[in-house]
Structure 1
Amino acid sequence: QRQLRFRTREMDATRRPALEDLFRDIAGGQAKELRLLIKGDTQGSVEALRASLERLDSATVKLAVVHSAVGAISESDVMLAVASEAVVIGFNVRPVADAGVLATEKGVDLRTYRIIYDVINDVRAAMEGLLEPEYREVIQGRVEIRAIFRIPKVGPVAGCYVTEGKITRQSKIRLLRDGTIIHDGRLSSLKHFKDDVREVQKGFECGLSLEGFNDFREGDVIEAYTMEQVT
Structure 2
Amino acid sequence: MIHKLKKRRGIPAGPLRVIGSRAQRPGPAVETLEIVLKCDSFGTVEAVTTLLGKIGGREVEIKVIHSGVGDVTKNDILMALTGSRLVAGFNVGLAPRLEQWTKEHGVEVRLYNIVYTLAEDLGALARSLIQTEPEERILGRAKVIATFKSSRGSIIAGCEVLDGVLAHGRNFRVVKAMGPVFTSRIESLQVEKRPVREVRAGQQAGLKVTGFVDVRVGDYIECFDPPVGRRSSAWSPRGAVLRFDENA
Into which bin does the TM-score normalised by the smaller protein fall? 0.3 to 0.5
* TM superposition score normalised by structure 2: 0.39
Length-normalised TM-score, structure 1: 0.42
